[in-house]
Amino acid sequence: MATFRQWGWWAAIAAAGAATQAAAQAPGSLERGRYLMQTVVACGNCHFQRGPQGQPLPEKGLSGGMLFDEPPFKAYASNITPDPETGIGKWTDAQLAKAIREGIRPDGRVIGPPMPIEFYRHLADDDLAALIAYLRAQPPVKNAVPASTYTMPLPPNYGPPVKSVTAPPRSDKVKYGRYLADIAHCMECHTPRNDKGMLETARRGAGGQVFKGPWGASVSRNLTPHPSGLKGWSDAEIAKAIRTGMDRQGKPYRPPMGFGFYEGISEPDMAALVAYLRSLKPLPFAGAQK
């Protein structure tokens, strides 16, 4: 079976380079946007253009086109480069902010799944501004992406308008870690879903979602501090798994988790993420879902 490494997905992404840690912390800055985008937020895991075998093509930027063929929908990730015709070049900053954090486009149409809007609603104002600064600074790439089709009704919105969000202080490791996990949408994949496809928030982190692709089928793991989860793992082992995409025996994990991005997560941010995982309610593994 092809592994993540054999797909060569990492090298290409890691080569994009990371900002210096100090610059990466400046609120609202382009460097902060670069850090978030190339590590923890990883919009490129969905919005990079893909090659014939599904491998990301970072050199083509966030020009979209990846197909999520997951009935009841067939969604194509949009081109979010500043190309005025096929991308978001004509959108204002406020329009981009509303699209990313609330899932509403300038023409009022709702952005459908799998874009994890419920989690992006937690994006702090300055981090959202940093992401937008990054998007604006990218070269425009022409790539017309087909329209998505949804055979289920989309919600009219994902909640009331988001007025203003401030991230918790970094000194509160558990809270800041939760913030990072939200904007990385870890729990979108690591929480089981009910038969309506909704996340079972009472079983946050218990894993069990199945992801099919050219790699076969991967099953999200239990991230809670339960014996069937991360209880027996050291902090360093957890960090290593997230950064290198390899388990404790050195066996590579399969997609779609964006390991190639997470390699660049800073030490303090990783410590906060791990502290948050340790704070989850211990739950038995949800079991691979149908």
- Binding ligand HEC (rule: CB under 6 A), the pick from 13, 124, 130, 189 is 189
Compute the distance between CA of residue 204 and CA of residue 279 in angstroms, rounded to an integer. 11
Compute the distance between CA of residue 83 and CA of residue 76 in angstroms, rounded to an integer. 17
Q: How far is the CB of 32 from ligand HEC (least distance, A)?
A: 13
Binding mask 132-161 for ligand HEC (x = CB under 6 A): ----------------x-------------
State which of positions 10-29 bind ligand HEC (CB under 6 A): none
Residue 14 amino acid letter:
A
If one asks whether residue 256 binds ligand HEC (CB under 6 A), the answer comes out as: yes
Tokens encoding 75: 């969604």
SS3 226: coil
If one asks whether residue 131 binds ligand HEC (CB under 6 A), the answer comes out as: yes
CA 157 to each of CA 22, 86, 101, 117, 284: distance values in angstroms, whole numbers, following the listed order: 37, 24, 11, 10, 33
Binding mask 197-236 for ligand HEC (x = CB under 6 A): --------------x------xxxx-x-------------
Residue 230: how many CB atoms within 10 A of its CB? Answer: 23
What letter does residue 5 receive in the DSSP assignment? T
**Binding segment toward ligand HEC, per CB under 6 A, in 10-18, 160-168, 196-204, 241-249:** 241-249
Block residue for tokens 């894993």: 207
SS3 181: helix
Residue 62 amino acid letter:
L
Q: Which residues pair with 68 in a beta bridge?
A: 75
Peptide bond into 256 cis (omega under 30): yes
Q: How far is the CB of 15 from ligand HEC (least distance, A)?
A: 20
Compute the distance between CA of residue 96 and CA of residue 74 in angstroms, rounded to an integer. 23
Q: How many CA atoms lie within 13 A of 278 on its CB side?
A: 15
27-51 burial string, b = 16+ CB within 10 Å, else e? ebbbbbbbbbbbbbbbbbbbbbbbe
Residue 256 vs 264, nearer CB to ligand HEC: 256
**Binding segment toward ligand HEC, per CB under 6 A, in 50-58, 70-78, 159-167, 168-176:** 70-78
Q: How far is the CB of 218 from ligand HEC (least distance, A)?
A: 4
- Binding ligand HEC (rule: CB under 6 A), the pick from 13, 19, 24, 46 is 46
Q: How far is the CB of 112 from ligand HEC (least distance, A)?
A: 4
If one asks whether residue 273 binds ligand HEC (CB under 6 A), the answer comes out as: yes
If one asks whether residue 47 binds ligand HEC (CB under 6 A), the answer comes out as: yes
If one asks whether residue 167 binds ligand HEC (CB under 6 A), the answer comes out as: no
Residues that bind ligand HEC (CB under 6 A): 41, 43, 45-47, 68, 75, 77-78, 80, 88, 99-100, 105, 111-112, 114-116, 120, 131, 148, 181, 184-186, 188-190, 211, 218-221, 223, 238, 241-242, 247, 253-254, 256-257, 262, 273
